[in-house]
Amino acid sequence: MREVVEKKVLSENDRLAAELRLRFQNENILCVNLISSPGSGKTMLLEKTLAAWPKDTPVAILTGDIQTDNDAKRLSRYGFPVRQIVTGGTCHLDARMIERHLNEIGFRGPGILFIENVGNLVCPSSYDLGEIAKIVLLSVTEGEDKPLKYPGIFHRSALMLLTKTDLLPHVDFDSGLALENARKIHPDIEFIALSARTGEGLSEWLNWLNALRQKISPQVAATRSLSSVTSK
């Protein structure tokens, strides 16, 4: 019975996600879904990303947590629409949550939508939110074997961000082994090492987003390229 219920829930979620994906396509919205363990640096990365963005670029952020609106408060300082999604115990965001809160903030494309998922490497991997790409963050304070322990999210992610690289001199972490393990699960996963604190790798991250934006909507991306940001 439980398996039947789970399949029904995922089927309904997939239907709503397909509608969101079509909406994003029609409105030229680049939607990316950031997923990681708690404390891997999603919010700080978004802070640095928003700080680098031209203020007239249409950008919105939906950030999920089981409780509190702390992340939304941090991100709202940068002048872009932000909505906190408090799940009240659910360990992931789903397509219905995204649809409801997106409608409430009234965000329309063309533009970019960042989804900061609940800190969890298991549940969010199974839920399609209509995004163009899932992005998995792995911090150097975690183990290199995380991709092998949680293969689902690494298999489904287009990009792996290795975060907090400024701490590498102080921790026992092998970046090469972490990437090797990730590519055992997903041979084509892209990889960027960065530190939101020092700015290392931030330009590469912004360039990756811009390239993805150009791929889905060349004309829109050309009018507001991130090249002006990354060349600063």
Provide the domain limits for residue 61: 2-230
Which pLDDT score, from 0 to 100, does residue 11 have? 86
- In three-state secondary structure terms, 7 is helix
Angle CA 107–49–174, to nearest 5 = 130
Confirm if 202 and 179 have CB atoms less than 8 A apart.
no
Number of structural domains, the chain? 1
Angle CA 31–32–33, to nearest 5 = 125
**Cα atoms in the Cβ-side hemisphere of radius 13 Å centred on 127:** 26
pTM above 0.85, yes or no: yes
Confirm if 119 and 97 have CB atoms less than 8 A apart.
no
> CATH number for the domain including 70?
3.40.50.300
Which pLDDT score, from 0 to 100, does residue 226 have? 42
**What distance lies between CA 228 and its chain's CA centroid?**
22
Which pLDDT score, from 0 to 100, does residue 6 have? 55
Q: What secondary structure letter does DSSP report for 86? A: E
Q: Name the E strands within 140-232.
A: 159-163, 190-193
With cut-offs at 50, 70 and 90, classify the pLDDT of residue 187: very high
Return d(Cα 109, Cα 58) in angstroms, integer: 7
Q: Is 202 left (phi over 0), alpha (psi -120 to 50) or beta?
A: alpha
Q: pLDDT (tens digit, 9 = 90+) per residue, 2-60?
A: 554 455 567 899 999 999 999 999 999 999 999 999 999 999 999 999 999 888 889 99
Q: Name the E strands within 2-107.
A: 29-36, 59-65, 82-86
Which pLDDT score, from 0 to 100, does residue 85 have? 93
Q: Name the E strands within 66-181.
A: 82-86, 111-116, 133-139, 159-163
Q: pLDDT (tens digit, 9 = 90+) per residue, 160-172?
A: 999 999 999 999 9
101 has pLDDT over 70: yes
137 has pLDDT over 80: yes
